[in-house]
Amino acid sequence: MPGHGGVAAGRLTVNEKTADRADPEPFRVLVVDDEKLFARSLARELERRGLAADTAFTAAEALEKSATGAYPVVLLDHKLPDDDGIRLVPHFLARRPGCVVIVMTAYQTIASAVQAIRQGAEDYIVKEASTAPIVERVLEVMRRDQLRAEIGDLSEHKRMGLLGRSPGIVEVIRLLDQVAASPETTVLLVGESGVGKEVAAQYLHRASTASGAPLVTVDCVALPANLVESLLFGHEKGAFTGADRATDGFFHEAGRGTILFDEIGDMDPALQGKLLRVIESREFHRLGSSRVQPVGARIVAATNRDLAQQVRQGTFRFDLFERLSVFPIRIPPLRERGEDVLLLAEHFLRFFSDRLGKRIEAPGPDVAEILLAHDYSGNVRELKNAVERAVILCPGGKLAPEHLPERIVRQARTSAAGAGSDAPRVDFVPGVDTLDSLERRMIQEALQRANGVKTEAARLLGISRFQLLRRLDKFGMKSDDDRDS
């Protein structure tokens, strides 16, 4: 049929291996904390709740233990005698992709919490006298892990390359499974470029239609305005100049399968109205014919745009937006799915090395750390491209940082330099601490270190003795044990 060029329409192809089975290991927890009493009581409490818990009191011991046994959950103290706990997070994740690391700390700071999450930690919690909140958190993770295992088992054959264990992707799969049961519901998939909207559409297609049913993808950007209706609905012979024979459109081609409107935000406003009518009536007719045909296919739309915003700007019809919003599914960006990064990286590594006939090992901690620090503005596609490139460059054996794209390595270095410097961290609670209170604490600290000698304290603070006296006055901190006045 004429005019098909540039319009992506095709049947479903299975081009990726299905997900790995969730492993049936017993649920084990590693508690890493140099406060032995705390570590032991936490481990005891976990065992009382039916889990298997081990303890490690130093970073070195923790790494050694995690090398011999795989722990789905690691509870990690922030300040260990031999290392910063947060720095260990990528090591645990590299040992076992999908491992849940929870960083425990004596008191919370926003900066270190952000840092912990960026390294791939699931959570950052404050240690209290009672171990109960931590135990509850672990039980929650265990229940989620069981749910994931069920999802893994249930749909292994139809996961269709929609991989991931992060809470975000588990929720997406749950929603897709739910809506799979009602094939007439229109589904809207939203998410940044490269997050896997098309993969999600394929999953839904597989989950809701008979095997062999077609998936027809309509690229709304590429739809040529003059032919669009004939492409979608087909036409009768003589319906317009040049229509020398009757032709079927995409709705007919999709049969009882799925029709995916990709980049729906780019659809021409005139066509938006026509699509709305088809969605509402679930009927269409060929151009030049009055015979109505039922829509047998599920209608799915995908976009990386903010449709609500487009409605406000007047480029997207409000009524179509409302119709599409009946069942929206948001696919979170990869940077919100920290746990999926290494899982996907390993999957792509296996995929591309199989294809190129290379033997390449799973990424070690150095590569894992770099991959985890990146923010993936291009999402899964960016990660996939990076791994493909790395597999091409790597001769075999161990994947090294130099095989990764420069941009990714550079970003990891910058964020490590920002977070890993040895300067003491400034801890403050936003909304409670103020610049004044911080200044006051610094002055107190300096006076303490200087044994109350003000000239020395001023030197430590980098101000003159006079300036220090002024500040002491301002804060009403004049002490009577003036040693050098």
Ligand X SMILES: Nc1ncnc2c1ncn2[C@@H]1O[C@H](COP(=O)(O)OP(=O)(O)OP(=O)(O)O)[C@@H](O)[C@H]1O
Applying CB under 5 A, the residues found at the interface with Mg ion are 197-198
Choose the contact partner of 315 out of ligand X, Mg ion, none; CB within 5 to 8 A by kind: none
The closest of 163, 93, 112 to 372, measured between CA atoms, is 93
**Residue type at position 159:** R
162 binds ligand X (CB under 6 A): yes
Least CB distance from residue 14 to Mg ion, whole Å? Answer: 17
Q: Do residues 369 and 412 lie in contact, with contact meaning Cβ atoms separated by under 8 Å?
A: yes
Nearer to ligand X, 31 or 201 (CB): 201
381 binds ligand X (CB under 6 A): yes
Contacts for 378 with CB less than 8 Å, ≥ 6 apart: 193, 194, 385
Least CB distance from residue 201 to Mg ion, whole Å? Answer: 8
Give the number of other Cβ atoms within 10 Å of residue 329's Cβ: 23
**Cβ-closest residue to ligand X?**
196
- Interacting residues with ligand X between 174 and 193 (CB under 6 A): 191, 193
Q: Do residues 109 and 90 lie in contact, with contact meaning Cβ atoms separated by under 8 Å?
A: no
Nearer to ligand X, 85 or 194 (CB): 194
The closest of 288, 214, 212 to 245, measured between CA atoms, is 288
Choose the contact partner of 41 out of Mg ion, ligand X, none; CB within 5 to 8 A by kind: none
Nearer to Mg ion, 171 or 198 (CB): 198
| Cα(40)–Cα(34) distance, integer angstroms | 10
345 binds ligand X (CB under 6 A): no
Nearer to ligand X, 30 or 195 (CB): 195
Least CB distance from residue 349 to ligand X, whole Å? Answer: 12
198 binds ligand X (CB under 6 A): yes
Give the number of other Cβ atoms within 10 Å of residue 185's Cβ: 15
Nearer to Mg ion, 78 or 197 (CB): 197
Collapsed DSSP state (helix, strand, coil) of residue 435: helix
Nearer to Mg ion, 8 or 356 (CB): 8
- Interacting residues with ligand X between 290 and 329 (CB under 6 A): 304
Nearer to Mg ion, 115 or 310 (CB): 310
Q: Do residues 348 and 388 lie in contact, with contact meaning Cβ atoms separated by under 8 Å?
A: yes
User: H or E element: which one contains 143?
Assistant: helix 132-154
380 binds ligand X (CB under 6 A): yes
The one among 78, 137, 165, 197 contacting ligand X by CB under 6 A: 197
199 binds ligand X (CB under 6 A): yes
Least CB distance from residue 201 to ligand X, whole Å? Answer: 8
Supply 98's token pair: 């999908």
Specify which residues 105 forms β-bridges with: 126
| Cα(17)–Cα(353) distance, integer angstroms | 13
196 binds ligand X (CB under 6 A): yes
Choose the contact partner of 177 out of Mg ion, ligand X, none; CB within 5 to 8 A by kind: none
| Cα(65)–Cα(63) distance, integer angstroms | 5
**Residue type at position 370:** I
**Site residues, ligand X (CB under 6 A):** 161-164, 191, 193-199, 304, 344, 380-381, 384
